[in-house]
Amino acid sequence: MRDLTKLEQAVIDKLLEGDHAVLTTLREQVGRARLTKRENTGVGFYCDIEVASEAPAVGGDFHLGDVQAEIPGLAHGAGFVLFVRGGRIKMLEGYTYDEPWPDRVRQFSLRYSDHSRKAELAKLGELA
């Protein structure tokens, strides 16, 4: 998806990693999506995303949020949530744990909060 920062793209890629059919469809959506708005909140950001109407959809409304980042300057790191509405990716939210969001994020490392991803994939099982 064009216009995303390296961090935003890496987070979406990590959130959608895996063999599950819903994740596969959401990855297809990313290839047909564009950033429509980015809002900085002071402690994070919102990225509004529009998926092309011809892109395949999945069932329902849900979110994925098992990716966290270590970012220099943030003592407690950052978390992320990818919102899906009406079967289409709608928004990526990034947030700190009660710290100001850095002006620029040059370095980061990502990890899953649940290394097995059981909780996130269990949610998707209901949508397949």
Q: What is the pLDDT of residues 26-45, one digit of tens each?
A: 999 999 999 999 999 999 99
DSSP 80-93: EEEEEETTEEEEEE
Q: How confident is the model at residue 116 (pLDDT cuts 50, 70, 90)?
A: low
Residue 80's domain comprises 6-125
Average pLDDT in the chain? 93
Contact 103, 71 (CB under 8 A): no
Q: Is residue 77 part of a domain?
A: yes
pLDDT above 90 for 119: no
pLDDT above 90 for 124: no
pLDDT above 80 for 128: no
Residue 94 CB neighbours (<10 A): 24
Q: Is residue 40 part of a domain?
A: yes
Q: Is residue 72 part of a domain?
A: yes
Q: Which residues contact 45 (CB under 8 A, 6 or more apart)?
A: 38, 39, 93, 94, 101
CA atoms within 13 A on the CB side of 91: 13
Q: Is residue 16 part of a domain?
A: yes
Exposed (0-12), middle (13-18) or buried (19+): which is 22, by Cβ within 10 Å? buried
∠ Cα 16 80 105 (to 5°): 105
User: Which tens digits make up the pLDDT trace of 37-83?
Assistant: 999 999 999 999 999 999 999 988 999 999 999 999 999 999 999 99
Q: Is residue 32 part of a domain?
A: yes
Q: pTM of the full predicted structure?
A: 0.93
Q: Is residue 98 part of a domain?
A: yes
Tell which phi-psi region holds residue 106, choosing left (phi > 0), alpha (psi between -120 and 50) or beta: alpha
Q: Is residue 1 part of a domain?
A: no
Sign of the torsion angle spanned by Cα atoms 91, 97, 102, 107: negative
Q: Is residue 56 part of a domain?
A: yes
Domain count, the chain: 1
